[in-house]
Amino acid sequence: MKKSFTLIELLIYIALMTIILNVGIFALWQILESKTKSLAYQEVLNNTRFIFEKISYEAKRAKSIEIPQRQGEERNELLLKMSDGSLVHFYLKDKKLILERKNQAGISIFFPLTSEKVRISEVVFKNLSPNPFRPQTFQVKMKINFYNPLKRIEYQAEISSQKTINLRDNISQ
């Protein structure tokens, strides 16, 4: 007598294979979704680091803080006066942080510091300098989000960060 699959055995086999495939596909989907979320978060983190490094670099070359001027004052812009008399201005425009340089002749050059993949929802510069004649100090607070127009959960990434920065002691210049 020939041995073959019965209808019940075939149905059990199909049900088991369906369950195994569903679990496998779900696990693969979770891996891909977590990689996407990780890449979004990494983009936000890289932009945050770059912005803080750029502001720190310009601050180390600056002679004074022009805006915000008084201790404790908070503004959504930062204006630094450089030793050569030029100005460096950081401000928020269209959810991008802009760096604008204005030389002594009044010619301005500006460019965004953030990539197209992120948006800054908040930036605050606070003057912490107790004495305007010694190295000045200011604080930068930012909230940066990954640009997510479709509101997909795997692209949601946001960093709230702050940094305190000192100007170099340029009194002797």
- The 10s digit of each residue's pLDDT in 98-121 is 999 999 888 999 999 999 999 999
Does residue 27 sit within a domain? yes
Does residue 2 sit within a domain? no
Does residue 130 sit within a domain? yes
Distance CA 12, CA 14 (A): 5
Does residue 13 sit within a domain? yes
Determine whether 9 is exposed, middle or buried from the number of CB atoms within 10 Å of its CB (0-12, 13-18, 19+).
exposed
Does residue 29 sit within a domain? yes
Does residue 117 sit within a domain? yes
Number of domains comprising the chain: 1
Domain residues for 38? 7-166
Distance CA 55, CA 102 (A): 16
Which one is predicted more confidently, 80 or 2? 80
Does residue 171 sit within a domain? no
- 115-144, pLDDT tens digit by residue? 999 999 999 999 998 776 666 899 999 999
With 0.85 as the threshold, say if the pTM is over it.
Answer: no
Does residue 1 sit within a domain? no
